[in-house]
Every structure is written in C-alpha cells, then in structure tokens.
Structure 1
Amino acid sequence: MVKGVTGMGLPTVAMGVLGATMSPLTAAAILIIPSFVTNVWQMLAGRDLLRLLRRLWPMMLCIVIGTLMGTRLLVVVDSVWSGRALGLALIAYAAYALFVPTLSVPERLEPRLSPVVGMVTGLLTGVTGIFTIPAVPYVQSLGLQKDELVEALGLSFTVSTIALAGGFLAQDAFRLDQLGLSLLAVLPALVGMWLGSIVRQKISPKTFRRCFLLFLVILGLELTLRPFS
C-alpha cells in the first residue's frame, strides 16, 4: 500500500516489519520476488528507460558491485547486529526525508557522484536488505520530471533487487521454503499497490508521507534498541 501511494517503500516497510520477527537475511530473501515484480512494473511504466540507463549506468553498475560485496556481510554477520544496522538505516532515511530539503546536483558532478552513490547504496543494500539510502535522495536531486523520477527509482530498485538475489545465490543463502514464501508474497504486494493507488486519490500525499516516515522511525528504534534489551 505504501508503494502504491508513494511509488516506493515496499522493501523498506516490509524489512522493518519482518525484521521484528525474523533475521534480516530471511526477510530479505522472502522479499526478493515481490520486490522484483513491483519494481519492474514501476520501471516499465514510463518511456524514458533507455535514456535513463545511458545517464545512470555508472550508478547501476556500482550498485551491483556494492550489493554483491555487502551481501557477504549480511550472510556472515550475527542477525542481532544486522537487525541493528537495518534499524539505523530506517531511522537515517526517515530523518533525511523529514528534515533535509531536497538537494540539487549539477549535471557536471554526476560522473563523479553516481559511482560513489551506487557503491554506498549497494553496500547498504547487501547489509540491510533495503535500497533507499543514498540512492533515493540522490535521484531526487537530479532534477528529473515526475514520471522520469518514478521510472528512475524503479530502475534503481530493480537493479538492486537483481543484485541482492545474485548475492544470495552466490552465498548459497536461498532456501526452497523462502522462495515459496516469496512467490506467495507477490499477490498481496500487487493488491497492496492497487489499494495504495486508491488511497492516494483520497488523502493528502504529504500527510501520508509524514505518517509513513514516523512509522519508519518507530520501527528503526525498535530494531536498533533490541540488542540492549
């Protein structure tokens, strides 16, 4: 539903909720297929995919490299600490979105910034299973039109999902029962997107976004403080 209203947030919210009851590794594995399906849907909805690929390919390449490196940490690190990292990532993203104004990146800086942003995003994706920081604020700072922005985010999320799946396969971290649960999660994810698109027409997106981000802060605090309880 969150993704249907805002265009993003499925893995972010789901990782936070599932991370409260299982390890981030298991949660990320379950979310692979629904994330892939919904992100491909979002990516192919526009008409600028090839142009965006030509512009953002250094970032996409580094997302893949960073994710493959970070996935190794998610597999070997104790689930308590990976859960804590997930909580911190949720809080950081929500705090940025709530309090930091949208930045503007000059086009001349993109060749240098895109690989760095891609690598950091990939590492955090591999470690936490979510792929919003710093990719989302960076893409939002590129001055894209509304439809281009949604398509560019879909491209980034799709690449991250594929890289995360590749990392899990390389680390032999997929189990058949997780793939079955991941397939089962596709239908409710699509139904949620449809319901979210209806909700988007009924309420203020600004109000919904604020409530969504505050919810992420609460989830992040719960995951971050759990090791000390």
Structure 2
Amino acid sequence: MIRYLKRSVVQATGALSRMVVKEQSHYIIPRGRTFSVQYSLPKLPVPQLEQTLKKYLETCRPLLTDDQYKATEQIVHEFQITEGPVLQKLLEERAAKHLNWLSDWWKHVAYLDCRDPIVVNVNPGMVLPRQTYRGQKEQLAFAAKFICGVLDYKVMLDEQTVPVETLGGKPLCMVQYYQLLTACRIPGIKSDTHVFISPYDPDKPRHINVIHKNHVSFPGHVLDL
C-alpha cells in the first residue's frame, strides 16, 4: 500500500524544476480496476485446531525453559480435547458468515483497542531522504510537490486505478486501500472508532491538515473533485 503512495510522491517531488464514517464492517464497493478481482477472492480459511496448536507451541519453544515447555505442552494437550473443539466450531460458524472472520477482531485488538501512543506504535508513515534547501521558497516548493503526490494517489484511489496487490502471484484484498485517506481515528476511553468518508459523499473533505511542532493548520481546499 505504502509503496504505491510513495511512488506517487516521488514522481511529484522528483525535481524542483518540475514545479509549476462511522465505522462499518462492510462497504459498498463499485467494480473498477482496483477491485476487479475483489469478489472472486476466497474467504479467509480457519486453520485446523491441530495446526493452530502446533504453531503456538513452536512460537513458545524459544521463550521457555524445558520445564516450562513441558508444562505448556500439557496445557495445550488438555485444551485440544476439552475447550478447543468447542471454540474451533464457533470460529468455523463465524467464518461461514463473514468474508474475513478475523479482520474486525484484528482491527480492534491490534489497532483501535491499543492504549499506547498511536504515533510509532500503530500509525504507519514514511521517512523521506534528507533534503537540502537554498531557502524557504524551495522548502515550500518541495512541500507543495509532496502534497501533489499524495493527492495524485488519492485520485487514483477514488477512480480505482490503483493496481491490485499480489503476493506470490495471487491477488490480495484491496478493501483497506479504500479506507486509506479521508479517514480518521476518534479516541475513546477503552476503544477508538474508525471513521471513513466515502469519495462519493457530497460533503467529503477536500482539505489537508498540516501539523508542525504541535501546531495544526487547515489550508483551503487542495482537491477540487
């Protein structure tokens, strides 16, 4: 995801001489290049209980002493013949009703429920190569080009021209791209809320936020679409 965004930014900032929702589980996604294979993707499978427990033990092994590992093996064995099958059945029932049985849980546990500072711990970002400016004018020019690159990527998202990501030659789910920009996180006491505004909303935002040394400014419209 970040790769394509970075590519747009790099193309826009290549040389100074070139400068002239409420949270929802499902979104209505129109068909386009970005989502050309979305509806043909298989559902996320539920691993077999034995496979999950085997992976758990493999993960624990480097962290435990021999005695601790033996005790863990005993607990896992008991779980496999008692609560394990019951919970496995519940997971399989959930998987039958959802395209991705894990995504909502993962979003909350890994992101929205996290009470640590979100900068660095949760939020993605990019580090650009160090720039040398001959004055404030060049610095502002570079910032303007950077913004143009991000907006070019935003237009690609809205027009659904972002290529489908693949892994090992197989297409990946692209829904997360649809929620990348014009989205924000509303803080809560125990859990935050993810708000996403559709590009088809007539009141969609067309501005950007500029944050510098804890000061936030809101420039005028930068996207006229």
Higher RCO by CA contacts (8 Å cutoff, separation 6 or greater): 1
Please give the TM-score of this superposition, normalised by the length of structure 2: 0.26
The structure that has the greater radius of gyration is 2
TM-score of the superposed pair, with normalisation by structure 1:
0.26
